[in-house]
Amino acid sequence: MTAKIIDFLRERRPEGPCLVVDLDVVRENYLAFAHALPDTRIFYAVKANPAPEVLALLASLGSNFDCASVAEIDMARTAGATAERISFGNTIKKERDIAAAFARGINLFAVDCEAEVEKVARAAPGARVFCRILCDGAGAEWPLSRKFGCEPDMAVGVLEHAHRLGLAAYGVSFHVGSQQGNVEAWDAALASAAGIFELLAERGIQLQMVNLGGGFPTRYLKEVPGVPSYAQAIDGALKRHFGNRIPETIIEPGRGMVGNAGVIKAEVVLVSKKHESDSVRWVYLDIGKFGGLAETMDESIRYPIRTSHDADEKAPCVLAGPTCDSADVLYEKTPYDLPISLSIGDEVLIEGTGAYTTTYSAVAFNGFEPLASYVI
Amino acid sequence: MTAKIIDFLRERRPEGPCLVVDLDVVRENYLAFAHALPDTRIFYAVKANPAPEVLALLASLGSNFDCASVAEIDMARTAGATAERISFGNTIKKERDIAAAFARGINLFAVDCEAEVEKVARAAPGARVFCRILCDGAGAEWPLSRKFGCEPDMAVGVLEHAHRLGLAAYGVSFHVGSQQGNVEAWDAALASAAGIFELLAERGIQLQMVNLGGGFPTRYLKEVPGVPSYAQAIDGALKRHFGNRIPETIIEPGRGMVGNAGVIKAEVVLVSKKHESDSVRWVYLDIGKFGGLAETMDESIRYPIRTSHDADEKAPCVLAGPTCDSADVLYEKTPYDLPISLSIGDEVLIEGTGAYTTTYSAVAFNGFEPLASYVI
């Protein structure tokens, strides 16, 4: 929460739920990453928040961009990034989208299997590819499935296949899981990456780059380690596994870049009980799972919520959204403590919502507008 | 799947994933409800699919409309429904939205607590209200939480409060859970409703209506009972609990009205394994949890999928969407059988997707467009 955001909300009084992003915080976050990891190129994960103002600021600061689609590539270009500063980081791409990206000059693609390598070889001949390997995601708050990446020993074959098809076998990537609280989470993946470098070197293929992915957390209810702690742990792991042949590195922060830069303003629509004798209230907001707070799925991400009654006594409540959907409940298994005096019409501020909110919101579920956004 | 939809896709060959809805099926569904429940008014749950063509057809057939927001009320009016054919069925409403609905002539509101009654009394003086009661949702495939409704014995007080504030205490509603496979699911709720009618009659308040809600299933992979079976069971339960004083009844079908009228056309983007020795493939489509298939959440709704290889041998696969989000996996806990010959670029048809797809889709997650829709 920043004074700039508080002033904006007081002066503009926007109607309906909305996200407000403070660019000063984004700048601070970028500079913190750049300072802590001076030898690492930063590829901002555009999907976290593709607001044009955010992309333009990051482009002006020198950031690179990790894009999930051709549309995101075009957003990054519009923001001022040249093609060599953009990667197509989705391992699942239509061949025609790879061709469209290549036509725009994009020369860095993620793969995790031979079929994807073949698409890139056909649609972007000679391009650089990095192979994503699986990570277990232990320590991450947002679930990491096995959706992306292959087993490390398979990556050797995938990259060799790329080399054989005339692509530049460029490196290895992994993701330690989003909102990763353990600074040592990179160690095991870097050990695997070093092993892949070695096996390919034996076959005469020199990989150059390790993509350390994202996972850098933002502060929600619990304290998280700062960027310098992550940088130090990663630096140690790189030296441990690569010795004096440290590869190029890149990182892909998304949540860590914009999460704490945004605040959602919402309104209490109803406070009620299911029976007079119930001890737990239900508090219904005008934003829910389908209006931008999708990351409350399985109660994964627990946002801090501020109200004007925070000095009052608190009690647990079930927190839910405004739609006619039974699944639109934010926190129930672990009820959320809110002031007993909180009542209908009160404004609430949901902090740490700069990442993964606006773009997740549904187009019109129940007729509600998608989440409005102001970048200041 | 209808010939009209197959012809449309063959002739128009739309690029990218899209939903195609056949209005003839919607008409058949409406007529089946109207025929099986001739004494019941049908309020279509607009949230299931608010396509203007669907609403206009239903308005012309004489349907009423259950709306979740002022935006949905306006869609129903634009489609030709007059105010007396529209209910504001969301129990969670801003007072200014109740006022906006009342200004449009809406005179039927859902409530489930005294605080909501007070909002309606202030913003829509004299209006009719019905109180929603809790149901356990046993037998439903889409999870029914305790989000809507109050305990039956509390409903008596809520409706009495409405009467005291000058509103018309009009009836009781409940929802047996979406995609309800048990035709007897209405029985227990009707017993509760009859009890509420009786207790209020003792206090001199004559309720008139029971809103039987939705829950009528559409056919996915498993056969479901037809509308006549539901009608017969409901009729029996009404007679059992209300004797010769059968109240007015309304139903709110959404999924049952449009689910089987729609088919999503999608494309296989990638087929891969995480290791050469894995027995289960991953199949990635160009549509996923954030592109319209939100009801695959927790693998709740299992859609039938047709391919041009369906005569070939099948094997289980994990099915996932195209976004860079680990949570964008459709079926993994229970893998989905698809033809072994299915390959990159193949078209797949996802049946039973006429309800709860387009409006759930994210505005632009990962830069992907919301789900396109054609109503024919």
In order of their start, the domains of chain B are: 23-258 (3.20.20.10), 260-375 (2.40.37.10)
Least confident window among A84-93, A242-251, B135-144: B135-144
Q: Where are the beta strands (DSSP E) in A22-144?
A: 40-45, 64-67, 86-88, 108-111, 128-132
Chain A interface includes B136 (CB < 8 A) = no
pLDDT of residue B367 exceeding 90, the answer is: yes
Active site residue A131: no
Q: Where are the beta strands (DSSP E) in chain A?
A: 18-21, 40-45, 64-67, 86-88, 108-111, 128-132, 168-173, 209-211, 248-251, 262-272, 281-285, 305-307, 314-320, 329-339, 347-351, 372-375
Kindly list the distances between the CA atom of residue B164 and the CA atoms of A174, B159, B167, B172, B194, in Å, as whole numbers in the listed order. 64, 9, 7, 17, 21
Per-residue pLDDT tens digits for B76-93: 999 999 999 999 999 999
pLDDT of residue A145 exceeding 90, the answer is: no
d(CA B70, CA B51): 16
Please give the pLDDT value at position A243.
95
**Beta-ladder partners of A172:** A131, A210
d(CA A281, CA A266): 18
Q: Determine which of A133, A290, A324, A357 to mutate to test the interface with B (most B C-beta atoms within 10 Å).
A: A324
Average pLDDT, chain A: 96
Q: Search chain A and give the residue with CA nearest B76.
A: A367
Please give the pLDDT value at position B245.
94
pLDDT of residue B320 exceeding 80, the answer is: yes
**Contact status, residue A119 vs residue A98, Cβ threshold 8 Å:** yes
CB contact under 8 A, B326 and A50: no
Please give the pLDDT value at position A331.
96
Structure tokens at A110: 């993620």
CB contact under 8 A, B148 and A113: no
Interface list for A 319-358 with B (CB within 8 A): 320, 322-329, 332, 344-345, 358
pLDDT of residue A135 exceeding 90, the answer is: no
Short-list A248, A225, A235, CA closest to A186: A235
* Mean pLDDT for the stretch of residues A199-227: 93
What ipTM score was computed for the predicted complex, to two decimals? 0.94
Per-residue pLDDT tens digits for B234-283: 999 999 999 999 999 999 999 999 999 999 999 999 999 999 999 999 99
Helices and strands: H and E segment counts in chain B: 10, 16
Please give the pLDDT value at position B145.
80
Task: Grade residue B60 by pLDDT with cuts at 50, 70 and 90.
Answer: very high
pLDDT of residue B140 exceeding 90, the answer is: no
Average pLDDT, chain B: 96
pLDDT of residue A240 exceeding 90, the answer is: yes
Please give the pLDDT value at position B169.
98
Residue A238 identity: L
Please give the pLDDT value at position A161.
98
Helices (H), B18-79: 23-36, 52-61, 70-78
Please give the pLDDT value at position A220.
87
Please give the pLDDT value at position B221.
83
Please give the pLDDT value at position A133.
97
